Copies of this chain bind each other. A is one copy, B any other.
Amino acid sequence: MKAYDELNKEELLALKSQLEEEYYNIKTKGLSLDMSRGKPSVEQLNLTEGMLGILSKNEDVKAENGLDCRNYGAPIGLPEARKLLGDIVGVPADHVILGGNSSLQMMFDTVSRSFTHGVLGSTPWAKLDRVKFLCPVPGYDRHFAVTEYFGVEMINVPMTEDGPDMDLVEKLVSEDPAVKGIWCVPKYSNPQGYVYSDDTVRRMASLKPAAEDFRIFWDNAYVIHHLYKEEEKQARIPEILTECEKAGNPDMVYEFASTSKVSFAGGGISAVIASKANLEQIKESMSFQTIGYDKLNQLRHVKYFKNLDGVKDHMKKEADIIRPKFEAVESILGESLGGLGIGSWTCPLGGYFISFDAKPGCAKEIVARAKEAGLILTSAGATYPYGKDPLDSNIRIAPTCPELIDLILAVKVFVVSVKLVSAEHFLKEL
């Protein structure tokens, strides 16, 4: 098969007609498929069955220090659960504060607190005329939504395979005191699955911000979410708190993590990880917000996983379920679209997403056509601030939730949609 840009008008018209038939055939099947969100599958969730009932008797509810987890107390979390989350991201427990079931909530609350109370004594952002955040793109829609909700001006920074364009980040951060933050998913980024290089991490930690209250929002959502068991296929990145400290910026980062894609997406535990000074402010704010998060669920996690090794063993089982799905998507995309010049995609070693770049100007139409044929994809543009992909090119593929058999069908619907829209695109350009 020739690349689409080598086809003449007759060939394109013939191709289009053939694709329309394929598309029509699919449409009549009345499919209902979904590759839109990074949700674990039922099979994954079933893995953690043993955690559900691990506390069942009154004598099960004590923490290691004797604390009754059913009652009030331990506002920043159980020591052993703080240790578990600390071990997951590679920091000591005393750099960890636990939250509820959602790390997104901890990010939201951190932004909200910065608006109402400032950052370690700085002017509350609500009192400033402009607050800007750097947004590596494509990125995570819910990050961008938080800052949009607070009226933050978001500035796109292109992603590379090594992380955000650090020349641009350094320039913007050092020149503009209105730049208060940057959203980062450093390992297996959402949606590309890229891993920040050691150099990127170190340059990030060594930023010289114009704003004293500039913070890196380091969402380490996929820190242990490898797809492969081989050591050499498991990404490692330098630990950001240590790097910031080494660079003389100990307070410049808030790190976030959770077990949402380890135990239960809706019933995990979350953490914010930061310097002592930052944690003091968070702890103070939390002391007004709540008497404490759910320690029973923290205890369930510790009793079930026991330690980091327990978590890692579990993640291998998760990988065994997810990996074939990623490979199926990549294989079908390769077979169906390889060499056609109408799209490229990432083949991550971890995380929850594959990022697809269509010919510029085609993404929205592809998503619309897929939907018409019964396949829900993440909205085109969602991976950019304000939902605006300037090239209308990026589409996020979330392979984890559907069963393999549905996933294969879904990718085929996607492929036909991509081909059809691309053929029409080339015809228009003739």
Contact = CB atoms under 8 A, between A and B. Distances in A.
A94 interface: no
A66 to B, nearest CB: 12
A45 interface: yes
Contacts of A83: none
A24 interface: no
Contact of A115 (B39, B53, B70, B116): B116
A320 to B, nearest CB: 18
A68 B45 contact: yes
B68 A146 contact: no
Interface residues of A, number: 56
Contact of A126 (B46, B72, B116): B116
Copy tally for this chain in the complex stands at 2
A290 B55 CA distance: 26
Contacts of A108: 288-290
A386 interface: no
Contacts of A48: 70
Contacts of A364: none
Contacts of A289: 102, 104-105, 108-109, 146
A71 interface: yes
A71 B44 CA distance: 10
30 contacts: A45-B58, A45-B68, A45-B70, A45-B71, A48-B70, A49-B57, A52-B58, A52-B60, A52-B296, A56-B56, A70-B267, A71-B264, A73-B266, A100-B293, A100-B294, A101-B294, A102-B289, A105-B290, A115-B115, A115-B116, A116-B150, A117-B149, A126-B126, A142-B288, A145-B288, A146-B289, A267-B294, A267-B295, A267-B297, A297-B297
Interface of A: 37, 39-40, 42, 45-46, 48-49, 52-53, 55-58, 60-61, 68-73, 100-102, 104-105, 108-109, 112, 115-117, 124, 126-127, 142, 145-146, 149-150, 264-267, 285, 288-297
User: Sorted from nearest, which 5 A-B pairs have the closest CB atoms?
Assistant: A53-B56, A126-B126, A267-B296, A70-B264, A108-B289
